Amino acid sequence: MIRLFDIVFSLALVLVLTPLMGILAIIIKWKAGSPVLFTQLRTGEYGKPFVLYKFSTMNQARNTAGQLLPDNQRLSPLGQWMRQYSLDELPQLWNVLKGDLSLVGPRPLLLEYINYYNPAQAKRLWVRPGITGLAQVNGRNGISWNEKFAFDTQYVEKRNYINYFAILLKTLLKVYKPDPIQQSITVTMEKFKGNPS
């Protein structure tokens, strides 16, 4: 039933938001150049890898050695605005239609993180990852990795229609009135490096 709702709701959103996504793509191309879409391999249900789509929020500026500059130096004002309202994640609706994502679930993380999960954290792989989730409506990048994993585990263990729709509603409210995004030297969340022994 959840999968059916994912498909119907995502398809409706794609039909309604396609003009907005087209405008964003044009502005990104104009302001920052290519690529308009950011793609990255992420971990899906049962650890299966898939390609995640997002709008690019950073430019490709490099130092004299040819290395990309730190994230906080490449994040554009447009990209920061898109992140604030989660507009950069609109292309993930295609991931939902493809079956890579659900609308709600643990956020899909980098493939390399699988090797660092403890048994409790690995439960996040039991379900299809989501565009939004319990951790995203309870702090986003402002909470620690342990807190994120705890929310993920809680969702997996208590997954039901009530929690699913409650998280969707909270997400819509946060998009309407967003919380300030946690800013750090990397702009995004620091990499997960495993659990302290």
- pLDDT 10s digits, 164-187: 999 999 998 887 776 655 444 345
Distances (CA, A) of 75 to 89, 90, 107, 143: 15, 18, 21, 21
The count of C-alpha atoms lying within 13 angstroms of the C-alpha of 102, restricted to the half-sphere facing its C-beta, is: 24
**In angstroms, how far apart are the furthest CA atoms of the chain?**
53
What confidence score (pLDDT) does residue 180 get? Answer: 55
Structural contact between residues 82 and 57, judged by C-beta atoms closer than 8 angstroms? yes
Across 79-101, average pLDDT: 93
Task: List pLDDT tens digits, range 102-124.
Answer: 999 999 999 999 999 999 999 99
Task: Give the three-state DSSP class for 83.
Answer: helix
Q: What percent of the chain has pLDDT over 90?
A: 63
Instruction: Quote the CA–CA distance of 33 and 50 in Å, as a whole number.
Output: 25
